[in-house]
Amino acid sequence: MGEEAKHPIIIGLTGNIGSGKSTVAAFLREMGYPVLDADLLAERARELKRAELKALFPEAFHGEELDRRRLAQVVFSDPERLRALEALIHPEVRRLLWEELARLGAPLVFLEIPLLLEKGWEERLDGVILVAAPLEERLRRVMARSGLSREEVLARERAQMPEEEKRRRATWVLENRGTFEALRAQVWRLLGEIRSRFGLS
């Protein structure tokens, strides 16, 4: 692929809400690999597009302060408004991602993107890791950490591609059904496979 610093191997990391993809991202960082978080880039994009966002979703603002939970309630109950939000924010997220990739110059980079497959990102990547977990377990995790109701979490789940379809489209699947240690061991084995596949020493 040419010089590694200029042409990194880019692996996507995804999973439906509550699957544990952020835990996998944390493991990868502990193991010394850069992981770019699309959610953090989306926060930056929302700040950069604040005026346009307020014009589109005035009910999600208290003065100049964005109420992210209220915004989520609005867009996840109205597909047309969700598309309007994505049309505003996603191009900015893409721009910020490619800026970060150029800045890093690493041979292997992971991108944590919740809607990776929904938005066709796999075409730009060298592979996709799906973190999978049973629905009820995912709902329990999200409700416990966020304070969202079951219906709010399910609304977000319905806005995502079904996990079974993601399993068919992913390059690798990590099963998050047990302990942190079991998941970490899967990540370690997968890293060996990725490095071998792409000839990384």
Q: Give percent of the chain with pLDDT exceeding 90.
A: 74
Q: Is residue 132 predicted with pLDDT exceeding 60?
A: yes
Mean pLDDT over the full length of the chain: 91
Mean pLDDT computed over 19-32? 96
> pLDDT for 76-105, tens place per residue?
889 999 999 999 998 998 899 889 988 888
Helix (H, G, I), strand (E, B) or coil at 9: strand
Q: What is the pLDDT of residues 171-194, one digit of tens each?
A: 999 999 999 999 999 999 999 999
pTM of the predicted model as reported, rounded to 2 decimal places: 0.82
Fold designation for 1-34+109-195: Rossmann fold (3.40.50)
Under 8 Å between Cβ of 1 and 115: no
- For the segment 27-41, what is each residue's pLDDT rounded down to a tens digit? 999 999 999 998 899
Instruction: Report residue 185: phi and psi, to 5°.
Output: -65, -40
Nearest to 118 by CA among 78, 76, 161: 161
pLDDT higher than 80, residue 149: yes
- Long-range (24+ apart) CB contacts under 8 A made by 143-152 are 148/69, 152/72, 152/73, 152/76
pLDDT at 134 over 70: yes
DSSP result, 11-52: EEEE-STTSSHHHHHHHHHHTT--EEEHHHHHHHHHHHTHHH
User: Cα–Cα distance between 121 and 94 in angstroms, integer?
Assistant: 10
**Residue 141: which of 38, 23, 12 has the closest Cα?**
23
The percentage of residues in the chain with a pLDDT greater than 70, rounded to a whole number, is: 97
- pLDDT of the residue at 2: 38
Residues of the chain with CATH 3.40.50.300: 1-34+109-195
pLDDT at 119 over 50: yes
> What pLDDT is stored for residue 4 in this prediction?
38
- CA distances to 54, 55, 113, 143 from 75, in Å: 14, 14, 19, 19
Bridge-based pairing state of the strands 172-175 and 127-132 = parallel
